[in-house]
Amino acid sequence: MNPTLWRRLLAEFLGTALLVTAVVGSGIMATELSDDIGLQLLENSIATAFALGALILTFGPVSGAHFNPVVSAADWFLGRRTGTGLTGRDLAGYVTAQTFGAIGGAVLADLMFALPAVDFSTKDRTAGHLWLGEVVATAGLILLIFALARAGRAAVAPAAVGAYIGAAYWFTSSTSFANPAVTIGRSFTETFAGIAPASVPGFVVAQFAGLVAGVGLVLALYPGVSRSTDEVVVAHPADATVRQANAGAAGTS
């Protein structure tokens, strides 16, 4: 059987918290070590990419290591017709755990660097080109994750997802938040990685637009993806029997 819901929610809370701690903490350290903005972003993106890969490996076997409401929402939507993926109750729990985890992670990072626990960001990120960047970053993330699951390559998700987010720091105008929970969490810190609370709604709307676009691309390219939603982001060990039972059917689509 899969882990109980409370264990999965704890994994999502801790994983998202540590992800935001890595994002915010590495941003703080980067600004302390260098005055060059490009170098600061490089240090921040490398630390985030490696941390994300490690966290997926750590928490994936428990909760699937979503750490992201749009990933959880896509998993619920794509799996609802076949009874795979998250249930509606699971989805509500995941989103709540991810959001509070993200806030806790920002607070933890601030405290580790002797900053005020909560100091709302004043960094304005309100602009159409930034929202477009978030649509692109989020759609690409959804497409990557579900393509890996459909192709039976969920085992490489830690490296692939970490690499994608690290790269998207650089090829998107928004530096690839691509995560509503992380966006909310980053509004709680007045540091390199912060975002003003007034800028959060625009980013979140863009991320959900990216979710819609990403799901549309997944359905167009991988019409049988609904049978693979139990493997997002990392397959649970208990899913092996299900995967074997579906193996023959998967080869026909």
Could you give the domains of the chain?
Answer: 5-235 (1.20.1080.10)
Q: What is the pTM of this model?
A: 0.90
What's the pLDDT band for 168 if we cut at 50, 70, 90? Answer: very high
Q: Say how far apart CA 120 and CA 131 lie, in whole Å.
A: 21
Cβ atoms < 10 Å from Cβ of 73: 21
Say how many residues make up the chain.
253
* pLDDT at 80 (0 to 100): 85
* Interval 212-223 mean pLDDT: 95
Q: Quick one: which of 82, 83, 91 has its CA closest to 63?
A: 91
Provide the residue type at 237 as one letter: P
pLDDT at 252: 31
Q: Per residue in 100-127, pLDDT tens?
A: 999 999 999 999 999 999 999 999 999 9
Average pLDDT of every residue of the chain: 91
- Chain centroid to Cα 199, Å, comes to 19
Least confident range of 36-50, 128-142, 153-167, 220-234 = 220-234
Higher per-residue pLDDT: 38 or 240: 38
pLDDT-derived band of residue 2, with 50, 70 and 90 as boundaries? confident
* Structure tokens belonging to residue 83: 């009874």
% the chain with pLDDT above 70: 90
67 φ, ψ (degrees, to nearest 5): 55, 20
Q: Mean pLDDT across the stretch 6-31?
A: 98
Q: What is the model's pLDDT at position 159?
A: 97
Q: What is the 3-state secondary structure (H, E, C) of 168-180?
A: HHHHCCCCCCCCH
Whether the pLDDT of residue 75 is over 50: the answer is yes
* pLDDT given at position 177: 98
